[in-house]
């Protein structure tokens, strides 16, 4: 075969061979050659609705001072620590939340000094009902920080008072009273399901002045009773949280 015939045959068969290889490769390829793009939820939008909440936490008592109707006044006054539990219900509208809570704090021990260290003692327990308001400060990586405040009433009881002021007093009965109460809060909320969030927060609670159950000649007043609280809770929403991609 001459050189011209060889070239003519190659020109005819070459494209045909290339086309058949391309068709064979196409037949072997999967129907969807590119993997699907990952689907993820980058943030959520809680547009509001009714919710229930429950919280548990630690309670560290604070006291501004102690004054006795029969001097000398106790010094080195301090309150111990305990536990707190809370239930509540509220409503959210975009970045504003409002709820009503009832909180029970376990009794904490008061200690003061008149003649010897810790010779004046008592127990203080409070149950509070608060109307609270919160402002959500935006959402980053599904975490929503907030600040808030509350006002309401506290029913506080002073019991088991023992003192060494003249005349000595021991084992006095409990005395309860209603006081104005207020609180300041800050925390973080994180969604864990389609309608539930974990709430981790701090609260400062102030329940005012309290007094023992003794008569006017020996009564002791506990001034500016308050507490630091660290709390962990769940908020269950009646409406599903909405997510954006």
Output the pLDDT for position 74: 87
Output the pLDDT for position 14: 54
Q: Determine the Cα–Cα distance for residues 101 and 105; give it in Å rounded to an integer.
A: 13
Give the pTM: 0.76
Average pLDDT value for residue range 21-39? 53
Tokens of 78: 């301090």
Q: Is the pLDDT of residue 33 over 70?
A: no
Task: State the CATH architecture for 52-123+154-244.
Answer: Beta Barrel (2.40)
**How does pLDDT run across 49-99, given as a tens digit for each residue?**
899 999 999 999 999 998 887 778 888 999 999 999 999 999 999 899 999
**How does pLDDT run across 135-157, given as a tens digit for each residue?**
999 999 999 999 999 999 999 99
DSSP type of residue 143: B
CB 162 within 8 A of CB 117: no
Other C-beta atoms lying within 10 Å of the C-beta of residue 215: 11
Q: What's the whole-number average pLDDT of the chain?
A: 82
With the CA atoms of 58, 62, 67 and 71 taken in that order, what torsion angle do they form, in degrees rounded to the nearest 10? 80
Residues 6+ apart with CB under 8 A from 31: none
46 CA to centre of own chain: 17
Whose structure tokens read 């009433």? 153
Give the domain ranges of the chain.
52-123+154-244
């Amino acid at each position: 075969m001459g050189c011209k015939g060889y070239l003519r045959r190659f020109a005819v068969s070459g494209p045909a061979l290339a086309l058949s290889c391309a068709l064979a490769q196409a037949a072997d390829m999967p129907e969807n050659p590119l993997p699907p793009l990952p689907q993820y939820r980058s943030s959520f939008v809680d547009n509001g609705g009714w919710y229930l909440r429950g919280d548990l936490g630690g309670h560290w008592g604070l006291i501004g001072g102690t004054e006795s109707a029969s001097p000398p006044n106790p010094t080195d006054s301090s309150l111990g620590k305990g536990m707190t539990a809370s239930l509540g219900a509220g409503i959210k509208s975009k970045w504003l939340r409002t709820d009503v809570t009832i909180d029970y704090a376990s009794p904490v021990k008061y200690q003061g000094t008149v003649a010897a260290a810790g010779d004046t003692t008592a127990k203080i327990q409070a149950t509070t009902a608060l109307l609270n308001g919160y402002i959500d400060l935006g959402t980053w990586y599904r975490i929503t920080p907030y600040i808030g405040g509350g006002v309401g009433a506290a029913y506080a009881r002073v019991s088991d008072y023992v003192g060494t002021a003249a005349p000595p007093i021991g084992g006095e009965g409990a005395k309860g009273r209603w006081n104005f109460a207020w609180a300041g809060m800050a925390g973080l909320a994180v969604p864990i399901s389609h309608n539930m969030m974990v709430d981790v927060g701090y609260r400062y609670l102030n329940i005012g002045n309290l007094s023992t159950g003794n008569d006017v000649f020996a009564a002791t007043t506990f001034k500016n009773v308050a507490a630091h609280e660290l709390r962990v809770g769940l908020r269950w929403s009646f409406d599903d949280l909405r997510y954006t991609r």
